[in-house]
């Protein structure tokens, strides 16, 4: 969708649909945002305050004929109580409005917000969240359907955001940021939703190459022979049970025209394009969702897209180990010992704890480049879902400043994180009797022992954060921000954290 700005009155806009945001007081809809409108429309809207049909609750929609306007329809959009407005309220409300606009067949829309009620929020952030919500809501998860053209009405082509002239610059910048953030998230969603027969390790590497060409990054893809030379026993071991060989993707971004020493930030994403569990095979129920076990890879690729488009003032290194975990005659067995790229040996007690094996090699590779920060993302453990549910990712971090940036970014994007312990006691649980480490740590604290395993492959002096995104990477039912399936979680979170880290560095 294309976004423009303006400062006129909504009833004068020649458009298919006018969307009017309305807050509420404690007992009724707040009429203040409607002052200054055409009298006939104002009377219609003012009358709503006494109707049970519309109380301006968040995401509530009320459709009116556009009498006295240049639009056939006016959609009054509830934003909830004025003193409870939040960025996520705006995202979800605009998502609901965007879905209604598509259902109406509106090709053009004009959006008028109650700016007085929004005075406590930054105008740029308000617009960014509105744009994100409208864009994310219309994601089509049915890419594999043989569409006839009659299944679904197209999304609106253009939105015009109306605001006071003094806010013109902030509104334009917010809209641009919203589009960039939404596109990164939607890119991640598309990758995670793609079925494994269409997205194996090579196809994921091809997507990374295409991203690099479009956005001006350097891309290197290493195959099995190069991985053997680098001693990446974790990646090779997990991948050896599949007929589709592993790929190791490295993207490098250097901003143009920026002088002086720039911080280097490494992003590492788990790229298991399908996870059967290997010899330690998973139950059949819901195994189809394991096409999404590359959600961490999708998150860091989506974050890179956002960061580059937003002109990140840092060097960015993106590392994606891509494998398929299958149980054929060549697959690793419980009890096998792998030698990792770092030289450490790992006893494999469970082949379904495979993500940490490929991440170990990828983290070692990233740390060899001496980054200022490392962030990894992975749909790593069911234990983290048990602990935190679907709403939060587990955050394991060895550096206060990095952890704070990710926590703040989670608040800004509503891709929320929850701090988890990273302590020496968990390291003792992954000690092996026959190798340096074992890849599981027992029944309890599975997310914590998995993080402790990864920490063994990160230099102690390197600021590092591990995001276990297994819970929020997937939703089981549709909502105002999109359909059932992949959420694209992590792309916006990480991109926002990168902005905060580089702002701090510049300061």
For residue range 414-457, what is the model confidence (pLDDT) as tens digits? 999 999 999 999 999 999 999 999 999 988 999 999 999 999 99
Question: Residue 504 phi/psi, 5° resolution?
Answer: -65, -40
Contact 49, 74 (CB under 8 A): no
pLDDT of residue 507: 43
Domain boundaries, the chain: 2-162, 182-506
pLDDT of residue 25: 73
pLDDT of residue 49: 66
Residue 282 designated active-site: yes
pLDDT of residue 50: 65
Torsion of CA 85, 87, 88, 90, to 10 degrees: 70
- Cα dihedral 344, 252, 241, 286 sign: positive
Contact 137, 162 (CB under 8 A): no
Closest of 363, 344, 356, 413 to residue 383, by C-alpha: 356
Residue 356 designated active-site: yes
In CATH, the number for domain 182-506 is 3.40.630.10
pLDDT of residue 32: 65
Catalytic residue among 356, 416, 492, 496: 356
Question: What crossing angle do the helices spanning 123-137 and 168-193 adopt, rounded to 10°?
Answer: 30
The residues, any chain, with a CB within 8 Å of residue 69's CB and separated by 6 or more, are 10, 11, 12, 13, 18, 38, 41
d(CA 33, CA 292): 43
Pinpoint the alpha helices (H) of 310-352.
Answer: none
Pinpoint the alpha helices (H) of 320-375.
Answer: 355-367
Express each pLDDT in 172-189 by its tens digit.
999 999 999 999 999 999
Below-70 pLDDT ranges, the chain: 26-27, 31-37, 48-52, 147-151, 504-507
- What six digits make up the tokens of 87? 């960025």
Catalytic residue among 28, 168, 209, 282: 282
Task: Please state the pTM of the whole predicted model.
Answer: 0.95
- What six digits make up the tokens of 281? 């095979």
Cα 211 to Cα 207, 218, 251, 285, 404: the distances in Å are 6, 10, 9, 34, 29
Contact 394, 388 (CB under 8 A): yes
Contact 492, 414 (CB under 8 A): no
Class of domain 2-162: alpha beta
């Amino acid at each position: 969708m294309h976004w423009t700005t303006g400062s006129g009155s909504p009833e004068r806009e020649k458009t298919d649909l006018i969307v009017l945001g309305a807050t509420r007081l404690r007992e009724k809809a707040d009429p203040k945002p409607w002052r200054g409108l055409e009298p006939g429309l104002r009377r219609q809207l003012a009358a709503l305050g006494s109707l049970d049909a519309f109380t301006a609750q968040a995401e509530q929609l009320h459709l009116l004929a556009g009498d006295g306007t240049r639009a056939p329809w006016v959609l009054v959009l509830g934003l909830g109580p004025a003193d409870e407005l939040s960025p996520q309220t705006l995202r979800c409300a605009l998502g609901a409005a965007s879905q209604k606009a598509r259902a109406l067949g509106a090709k053009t829309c004009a959006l008028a917000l109650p700016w007085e009620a929004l005075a406590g929020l930054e105008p740029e952030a308000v617009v960014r969240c509105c744009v994100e919500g409208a864009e994310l809501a219309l994601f089509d998860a049915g890419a594999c359907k043989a569409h006839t053209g009659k299944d679904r009405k197209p999304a609106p082509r253009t939105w015009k955001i109306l605001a006071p002239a003094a806010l013109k610059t902030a509104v334009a910048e917010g809209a641009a940021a919203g589009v960039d953030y939404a596109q990164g998230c939607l890119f991640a969603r598309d990758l995670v939703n793609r079925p494994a027969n269409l997205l194996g390790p090579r196809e994921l590497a091809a997507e990374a190459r295409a991203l690099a060409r479009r956005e001006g990054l350097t891309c290197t893809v290493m195959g099995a022979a190069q991985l053997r030379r680098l001693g990446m026993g974790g990646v090779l071991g997990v991948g050896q049970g599949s007929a589709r060989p592993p790929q190791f993707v490295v993207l490098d971004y250097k901003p143009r025209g920026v002088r002086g020493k720039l911080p280097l930030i490494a992003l590492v994403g788990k790229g298991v394009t399908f996870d059967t569990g290997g010899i330690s095979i998973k139950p059949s129920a819901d195994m189809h969702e394991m096409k999404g076990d590359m959600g961490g890879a999708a998150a860091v690729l989506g974050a890179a897209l956002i960061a580059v488009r937003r002109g990140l003032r840092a060097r960015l290194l993106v590392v994606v180990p891509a494998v398929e975990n299958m149980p054929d005659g060549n697959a690793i067995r419980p009890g096998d010992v792998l030698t990792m790229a770092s030289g450490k040996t790992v006893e494999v007690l469970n082949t379904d704890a495979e993500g940490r094996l490929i991440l170990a090699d990828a983290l070692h590779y990233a740390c060899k480049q001496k980054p200022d920060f490392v962030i990894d993302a992975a749909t790593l453990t069911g234990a983290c879902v048990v602990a935190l549910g679907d709403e939060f990712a587990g955050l394991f971090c060895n550096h206060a400043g990095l952890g704070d940036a990710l926590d703040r970014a989670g608040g800004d994007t509503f891709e929320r994180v929850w701090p988890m312990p990273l302590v020496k006691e968990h390291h003792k649980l992954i000690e092996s009797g026959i190798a340096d480490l074992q890849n599981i740590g027992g029944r309890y604290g599975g997310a914590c022992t998995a993080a402790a395993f990864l920490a063994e492959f990160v230099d102690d002096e390197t600021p590092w954060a591990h995001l276990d995104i297994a819970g929020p990477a997937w939703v089981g039912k549709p909502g105002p921000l999109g359909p059932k399936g992949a959420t694209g979680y992590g792309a916006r979170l990480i991109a926002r954290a990168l902005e905060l880290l580089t702002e701090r560095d510049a300061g």
